Structure 1
Amino acid sequence: MSSNTADLLIEATRDLLWERGYIGTSPKAIQQRAGVGQGSMYHHFTGKSDLALAAIDRTAEELRAAAERQFAAPGTAVERITAYLRRERDVLKGCPIGRLTQDPDVMSDPALRGPVDETFVWLRGRLARVLAEGRAQGEPDVAALDPDSTAATIVAVLQGGYVLARAADSTEPFDQAVTGVLGLLTGPPPTDRD
């Protein structure tokens, strides 16, 4: 049994959790998606919960790494946050971590809920640090903003944008939400006073 088999199982579980949620992700469906047998699954994982935790952990790590690429890049605070909010996403599928908050089986299990909560705590904290860096550098767009509450607002708008997009079956509400929160960060556009 190779680590490749474990990776196949984790990736299959990630996909199924995103598509079907925890309750809809059966061990049989995982094995079929991964193309492995029951023995291989239980060789690497103690059961569905153990495998789901590995899948959620990997998803959370990848989301944090992807966000960190924008947050650590050169530029002003608003430029880095804009890059994060405007990066390519599968909007209509929703956030793979945010969707788990709607799954009662994940939220009722402290082990499975842990990486979900940790990811959102990290994201709010990292956004707050980006905003605080901008304030410390004297960037006018963020000078008057409270970093913690603004970071919480950005995360709420982003997650709400996913929900609105899924409800409308269109990316337009997500794009509008992102444009709106960026407008709040940068203030109103200049107007011509002729």
Structure 2
Amino acid sequence: MRERLIESTRELLWERGYVGTSPKAIQQRSGAGQGSMYHHFRGKPDLALAAIARSADDMRVRAEAELSGSASPLQRITVYLRRERDALRGCPVGRLTQDPDVMADPELRRPVEETFAWLRTRLAGVLADARSQGELDASLDPAATATALVAVLQGGYVLARAAGDAEVYAQAVDGALGLLAGHAR
């Protein structure tokens, strides 16, 4: 039941945000009763934290799988950027940054902040490897470029949602890869 509560809360946070994710909605989505919910969690903030942490962990696990391996650093970055995503639904972690209740609560905000810091650092490491292996020009700043790549993905979601067209997201990824190609050796 604990897992169903967490998964239901993850889905609701992604769809409705923190305020729109009521305990009643969580119970209805999960099929859990009030007693079961409060048996596993102290309340909505505790359950939301578990759900946000799970979304953040899932994002890190997927990214790590794509960013590690035997392919060249630029190939790994390309795989990560081109991964199949639901562009019109948005990023389950990135969307939380638009939720004032999540961002105002240091405990709820922490997994979001830590995940994006980890992702920027991980991408910077892969870009540094690409530079040291001669795939990218030595003038490329791995940290700044990693931050730009994360911004392209998150901004791509926003632009795609605004346009109602997932192709806009794909164009953002293509543009980022084109800019990287301009620094290829």
TM-score interval w.r.t. the shorter chain? over 0.9
CA displacement at 1:188 relative to structure 2: 8.7
In structure 1, the partner of 2:82 is 86
TM-score normalized by the length of structure 2: 0.97
Unaligned runs of 5+ in 2: none
Q: Deviation per CA, 1:65-110, whole angstroms, max 9, x where unpaired?
A: 0000111022222111110010111111000000000000000000
In structure 2, the partner of 1:192 is none
Counterpart residue identity of residue 35, structure 1: G
In structure 2, the partner of 1:57 is 53
In structure 2, the partner of 1:125 is 121
CA displacement at 1:120 relative to structure 2: 0.4
1:76 aligns with 2:90: no
In structure 2, the partner of 1:15 is 11
In the alignment, the residues of structure 1 paired with residue 125 and residue 115 of structure 2 have an alpha-carbon distance, to the nearest angstrom, of 15
Residue from 172, 176, 184 that aligns with 2:179 = 184
In the alignment, the residues of structure 2 paired with residue 157 and residue 96 of structure 1 have an alpha-carbon distance, to the nearest angstrom, of 16
Aligned residues: 184
In structure 2, the partner of 1:66 is 62
Amino-acid identity (%)? 66
Q: Deviation per CA, 1:3-30, whole angstroms, max 9, x where unpaired?
A: xx00000000000000000000000000
Question: Is the alpha carbon distance of 1:174 and 1:152 closer, same or farther for their aligned partners in structure 2, counting shifts above 3 Å?
Answer: same
Asked if 2 retains the 8 angstrom alpha-carbon contact of 1:142 and 1:185, the reply is no
CA displacement at 1:144 relative to structure 2: 2.6
In structure 2, the partner of 1:138 is 134
Asked if 2 retains the 8 angstrom alpha-carbon contact of 1:27 and 1:48, the reply is yes
In structure 2, the partner of 1:167 is 162
In the alignment, the residues of structure 1 paired with residue 158 and residue 148 of structure 2 have an alpha-carbon distance, to the nearest angstrom, of 15
- Classify the secondary structure of the residue corresponding to 2:88: helix
Counterpart residue identity of residue 83, structure 2: R
In the alignment, the residues of structure 2 paired with residue 39 and residue 81 of structure 1 have an alpha-carbon distance, to the nearest angstrom, of 46
Higher Cα radius of gyration: 1
Asked if 2 retains the 8 angstrom alpha-carbon contact of 1:161 and 1:177, the reply is yes
Asked if 1 retains the 8 angstrom alpha-carbon contact of 2:4 and 2:30, the reply is yes
TM-score normalized by the length of structure 1: 0.92
Asked if 1 retains the 8 angstrom alpha-carbon contact of 2:9 and 2:21, the reply is yes
